[in-house]
A and B are shown apart, each in its own frame.
Chain A
Amino acid sequence: MRLDYPTNVKITKVPCTGRVDDLLILKAFESGVDGVYLAGCLEGECHFLKGNLRAKQRVQYVKGLLEEVGLGGDRLEMYNMSAAQGQRFAEVAREMTEKVRALGPSPVKKKVKDYRTASLKVEG
């Protein structure tokens, strides 16, 4: 298809959105990203039955955590699309980019000090 989508979107591949847990999303924000979205399969079409539905619930939960912290839950979203919907993938990338751009840069950008000996590297 050779579709264009904004270059600021960095992809972290996971076998299923059900793999994405709270901490993975929070670590992405700690690494300085302005927003995170999950691109899961269409509801009802998860290869692992409920992975995308679990991800949806986790996204809701982490939105609450982000509100608590003061980053705002709007910086995190869940989208659903099939592997055949390349057009939709590009559209979502543009939509989320615009949304996050409107929210402005993350207030924690590049300020997080990591005192831990081991950390999970999330591209962002």
Chain B
Amino acid sequence: MIVGNRKPLEEILGMIKPYKRLLLLGCNECVTVCSVGGEREVGVLASELRLWSAKEGQDLEIREHTIERQCDHEYIDQIRSFVDEYEVILSMACGAGVQYVADKYPTRPVLPAINTTFLGVTLEQGVWSERCQGGGTCILDQTGGICPITRCAKSLLNGPCGGSSNGKCEVDKETDCGWQLIVDRLKELGQLDQYEEIMPIKDWSTSRDGGPRKRVREDSRL
């Protein structure tokens, strides 16, 4: 899922300063699962904003609304009937959602309430961890199912750097060395010979370096 962090209230207040009528838009997908931008978080932020505006004597009207996904136009269309009643949309979706809502409602400013951080997994309730950077050329088959691009701070492809110490990364003593994890896993799988194979220089053009990516599946198109 896509994981994010709520922006500090101060930053949000700075963004919404010029506006009096605000549509606070949540998303029922990834940001709901990582407890940052779903219906519940929309409620909490709306409550914070109401308390703040009441304290400051500001007149701020907030409508809370959460849609199934902010990255699909059929759901974004659901707010069309009332979106014009509001001066601004404060989106609690990931960056993709914010941009797609902005794309669909060009006359309304769409502001981000969260900082989108990574593609990750839920380690336990309340703890999320990065696992994928969307590199475009997956090599997990060669690395025991552990991504060196994501799990190694330097995204090294052929073993750890000198900063690996007791299985931890020099960047942060709490962070596992990605390559230590890979070697341990390959050993467990009896595939340590994979580690001997030199991986060629990665073609980053399939990743962000190739510019914004697009996928088309012709048989799915209507």
Contacts and interface: CB of A to CB of B under 8 A. Distances in A.
Interface in B138-166: none
Contacts of A22: 40, 44
B171 interface: no
A69 B52 contact: yes
Contacts of A71: 51, 55
A65 B55 contact: no
Given A107-B55, A112-B51, A116-B64, A68 B8 contact: yes
Q: How big is the A interface, by class?
A: 20 to 34
Contact of A65 (B10, B48, B63): B48
Chain A binding site: helix, strand, loop or mixed by DSSP?
loop
Contacts of A113: 50, 54, 59, 61
A27 B46 CA distance: 10
A68 B10 contact: yes
B87 to A, nearest CB: 14
A34 interface: no
Contacts of A108: 51, 54-55
Given A23-B40, A111-B57, A68 B50 contact: no
A23 B59 CA distance: 21
Contacts of A116: 63-64
Contacts of A112: 50-51, 54
Contact of B9 (A27, A69, A107, A114): A69
B175 interface: no
Contact of B48 (A69, A107, A114, A115): A69
A26 interface: yes
A44 interface: no
Contacts of A70: 52, 55-56
- The 6 nearest A-B residue pairs measured at CB: A111-B54, A26-B47, A108-B54, A68-B9, A112-B54, A107-B55
Given A27-B47, A71-B55, 8 more contacts: A23-B43, A23-B44, A29-B47, A30-B51, A68-B8, A68-B9, A108-B55, A113-B61
Interface of A: 21-23, 26-27, 29-30, 65, 68-71, 107-108, 111-116
